[in-house]
Amino acid sequence: MQYRFDAFSLDTDRFELARDGVPIRIEPQVLELLVLLVESRDRMVSKDEIIEKVWRGRIVSEAAVSSRIKAARQALDDDGQVQRYIRTIHRKGFRFVGDVSSSAGDDPPAVRGPPGEPSFEDEGAMPPATPAAATAARSGHAARPAVAVLPFGNLSADPDQEYFSDGVTADLIARLSKHRWIDVMARNCSFGYKGRAVDVREVGAALRVDYVVEGSVRRAGNRIRVGVQLADTHTGHNKWAEHYDRELADIFALQDEITETIAARLEPEIGFAERNKLVQSRPPDLRAWDCFHLGIHHFYKFTGPDNVEAQRLLRRSQALDPLLGEAFAWWAYALILGMIYWDTPPTAELLDEALAACDRALEIDRYNATFHALRARVLLARCEYDQAIVENQAAIDLNPSFAAAHCGLGDSLTYEKRYEEAMHCFDRAIALSPNDPQLWAFYSYGALAMIFKGDYDTALQWTDKAANIPNCQYWTRAHRAVALAHLDRLDEARDAGERLLREMPRFTCRFAREKLFYLREQEQVERYLAGLRLARIPEG
C-alpha cells in the first residue's frame, strides 16, 4: 500500500517514507508510528493504542511516545505549533490530518512494520509462532531487548502466601522497567502464565521477548527463600540463576529488598548477554542499536584502543539514530574515561561537548536514570561536585537499584570530603551489583576515598579486592602503592610501584597530576603525589 500527501509518499510494503521520490532516513519505530497514524486517519489514535501497536504493550513512558511523535513531525517538516500533519488531541492522543490519497483504496486493514514484521489486523492478532519467526519479526528494528517476568510460583504449603509471590513479580516488573534500555512486558501480558509449566522458547514466541525471568517463593516458618533465573528465549538456555534466603520480619520491607536486589542483578546480566550475541554474530549492516552495544562492548574492555573504538561506534550510533539517547550519554562517559585513563585530552571544549551530549540525551528522555548518572560523571570531571551530587541523587530516585549511580554519588561525596557517606554509597553499589562490569571501579574509587581520609589500611583492603577482578585498571595499582607508602611499608610500596610501571611505563608524578585534573582540593592531590614519591614513582 502506498499513501501520498503533498510531496510525501509512504510505502508500507517497502516500509519507506520519501519526499519527491527521495527516501527519508527515519528510525523504524518512528516510521511504524507514522503508518499507524496514516492508516487510522479517520479517527484519533490514543496513546494507549500507540503503545499497544508500536511497542506491543511493553511498558514505556509518555515521554517515549512524545519523542517518537516529535521525530515523525520532524521527518515531515512539521512541528507541535503548526501541526500540519499530526495534530495533538490534548491529554487523549493524536490524529493524522493531512490530505491523503492511496494507491489501493482508503481503508487498508493492517498496521505493517518493516519487511519481515507481521501484520496486525486487530489488537488480538497472534505474533509469530516460533522464536525464529519472532527474531525475524524484530529484525527490522534497532530493538531494545524485550523481557517478560513470569509470575513467581508459590512453593509454600500455605496458599495464603500467594500474595507475596504475586507481589514480588509485580514489583520486579516495575523495578526492571526503571532500566529504560530494556523493554519489559506489562503485567497483564505475563500474568496469563500464572500456574502453568512453560517452555521459555514458546513464551518468547508468544510474547515476542528475548528473555524470560522465572522464579519461586518458598516459606518455611520464619524464613523465606526466593529463587530466580534468567533464560534466553531463542536458545532456551539459562543465562543466570540465584536464590536469596531471608528472615521474615517486615513482609513489605522484605519484598522491597528482594525485588530491588534481583532487578539490580538482572540488568548487567541482560547487558552482557546482548553484547555477547552481537559480538558473536557481527552483522555486516550495523544499525544504531548494534553500534551502541558494540561500542559498549569495547567500552567495558577498559583499554586505550578500545576506548577510542567505543567513542567512534557511539558517535556512529548517534548519526544513525539521533533519538537514541544512550549513544549520546555513553559517548560522553567514554570521553571522560578517555581523559582520566588514556589519551583523550581534558580540554574545556571537550568537557563542554560531553555535557552537551548528556543534555541531548536528557532532552530525549529526562526520566532515564542512566542519563542523569552519566551527566553526573561529566560534572565531576568539570569539578562541579554539588551538581554531580544532585544528578546522582536524581538517578537514584528514578532507579534505586542502579548500582553505578550509588557509586557515582560516592565519588561525588569523596571530593567534597564527606568520606563516611561516600563509603556507604560504595558499599551499596557493591551489594546491589556484585557482578557489575565496573565492579573493580567501585572498589578502586572506595580505595581512593580512604586514601584521602587517611584510612590507609582500609584503602589497601579495597585495592586488593579490586586487583582480583580481571579488567581492573592501572590506577588501582597506583592506589595500592600510595596506601602502602603512607603506612610506612616502603619496601612493599616500591615493589607495588615497580609493578605499576611495568603495567603503565609512562606513569609518573607529572602524569598523575595531569590525570587528576578532576580534583579541586589541592590537599587531596598533594597527599596522593606524596605517596607516589615515597613509592619512588619518577617525577616525569
pLDDT in tens, 406-415: 999 999 999 9
Cα radius of gyration (the chain)? 26
- Ordered DSSP codes for 67-113: HHHHHHHHHTT--TTT-SSEEEETTTEEEE-S--EEBTBS----B--
User: Does the structure show a pLDDT above 80 at 260?
Assistant: yes
386 assigned to some structural domain: no
Q: How does the average pLDDT of the chain come out, rounded?
A: 86
Note the pLDDT of residue 44.
92
Note the pLDDT of residue 121.
28
User: Does the structure show a pLDDT above 60 at 113?
Assistant: no
431 assigned to some structural domain: no
Q: What is the CATH number of the domain that holds 58?
A: 1.10.10.10
The domain boundary, picked from 254, 281, 308, lies at 281
| pTM: predicted TM-score of the whole model, two decimal places | 0.70
pLDDT in tens, 333-382: 999 999 999 999 999 999 999 999 999 999 988 889 999 999 999 999 99
385 assigned to some structural domain: no
Mean pLDDT calculated for residue range 97-114: 57
Please count the residues of the chain. Answer: 540
Note the pLDDT of residue 193.
86
Beta pairing partners, 185: 58
Note the pLDDT of residue 129.
31
Note the pLDDT of residue 120.
28
pLDDT in tens, 468-508: 998 899 999 999 999 999 999 999 999 999 999 999 999 99
Is residue 155 domain-shared with residue 243, that is, in the same domain?
yes
The domain boundary, picked from 303, 335, 366, lies at 366
Pairing of strands 211-220, 153-154: parallel
Q: What does residue 43 show for φ and ψ, rounded to 5 degrees?
A: -155, 170
375 assigned to some structural domain: no
More confident site: 428 or 220? 428
Is residue 237 domain-shared with residue 214, that is, in the same domain?
yes
pLDDT in tens, 389-442: 999 999 999 999 899 999 999 999 999 999 999 999 999 999 999 889 999 999
Is residue 337 domain-shared with residue 362, that is, in the same domain?
yes
Amino acid at 3: Y
Note the pLDDT of residue 534.
98
Percent of the chain, pLDDT > 70?
90
Is residue 190 domain-shared with residue 317, that is, in the same domain?
no
How many independent structural domains does the chain possess? Answer: 4
Range of the structural domain that residue 351 is part of: 284-366
More confident site: 276 or 137? 276
User: Does the structure show a pLDDT above 50 at 111?
Assistant: no
Is residue 249 domain-shared with residue 301, that is, in the same domain?
no
Note the pLDDT of residue 491.
97
User: Does the structure show a pLDDT above 60 at 106?
Assistant: no
Helix (H) / strand (E) containing 28:
helix 28-39
Cell of 393: 541523587
Which residue's C-alpha cell is 610501571?
A: 501
Mean pLDDT calculated for residue range 165-173: 88
Is residue 164 domain-shared with residue 251, that is, in the same domain?
yes
